[in-house]
Structure 1
Amino acid sequence: MLKPLRIASYNIHKGMSPLNRRLQLPNMAESLQQLNADVLFLQEVQGRHGQRALRFADWPHEPQHHYLARRLQHRVAYGLNAHYAHGHHGNAILSRFPIQQWCGATLIFLSTVLKAVAYYIVSYSYHAGR
């Protein structure tokens, strides 16, 4: 019997509430865990942000993609999209299955607009009973 592959995509907005007033990453981890997705595509994942780490006492001591992967017991790959003086953010994939290969690239549109694209290869068993 084939088991469906559960895939979800979510823009975590750097783990923050609207207007960046509260850290919402722990709540997001709980919500993502309830989805029980096999593969999660995450956008706007904060790899590092020195200013927010000082501002919020509960800011994780590890990059957000590692924090979420640990909480969900998934494997992770991260692709940096934007780098600035106090940190960086990008896209991440969290997978219940091994990530065999991944790469990322920045695309330039109209000579000023930067967009990131990522390519992942995940090893997945097509039969129930992982």
Structure 2
Amino acid sequence: MKVLTVNIHKGFSFFNRNFVLPQLKTAVSETKADIVFLQEVIGEDLKKQEKYSDWPESSHYEFLADQIWPEYAYAKNAVFPEKHYGNAILSRYPIESSKQINVSTNRFEQRGFLYS
């Protein structure tokens, strides 16, 4: 079994210079991992969706999962009026259940664990 974990930095390059989610999709799929753990994955961002022409219509975890990982789980860690992001698990195997544990230490840094 191959497992991959990656912090996708909300789909952006170093210093948020470029939107690189399509390139990340290629790189992640080329690993042929059976299970992928994602950190800082966007579930929704209405402002950036309008700004970038190659922004996917689906959530970033659904975009990355595509046809390769038919099972996925997502949990929001940071929630704002126009966006939310968190952790996701993509899997070739059935995900029977998932749970998020909030491990935030203060209201300015929202953090969590996602397990399945």
TM-score (norm 1): 0.82
- In structure 2, runs of 5+ residues without a counterpart are none
Instruction: For residue 119 of structure 1, report the CA deviation from its aligned partner.
Output: 1.7
Q: How many residues align?
A: 115
Paired residue type of 1:7: V
- Choose between structure 1 and 2: higher strand proportion: 1
Q: Which residue of structure 1 aligns with residue 90 of structure 2?
A: 94
- Confirm or deny: 8 A CA contact 1:7 1:37 kept in the other structure: yes
Counterparts of 1:108-127 in structure 2, within 5 Å, are 108-109=104-105, 111-112=106-107, 113-120=109-116
- Confirm or deny: 8 A CA contact 1:29 1:72 kept in the other structure: no
- Structure 1 or 2, whichever has the larger Rg, is 1
- Give the secondary-structure state (helix, strand or coil) at the position aligned to 2:66: helix
* Large movers: runs of 4+ above 2 Å: 71-74, 111-115
Q: Which residue of structure 2 aligns with residue 50 of structure 1?
A: 46
Q: Which residue of structure 1 aligns with residue 2 of structure 2?
A: 6
Q: % of aligned pairs identical? A: 33
Counterpart CA distance in 1 for 2:104 and 2:28 is 31
- In structure 1, runs of 5+ residues without a counterpart are 121-130
Quickly say closer, same or farther: Cα 1:10–1:54, change in 2 above 3 A: same
TM-score (norm 2): 0.91
Cα-to-partner distance string for 1:4-39 (whole Å, 9 max, x where unaligned): x11110000001112223211110010011100000
Pairing 1:29–2:20 present: no
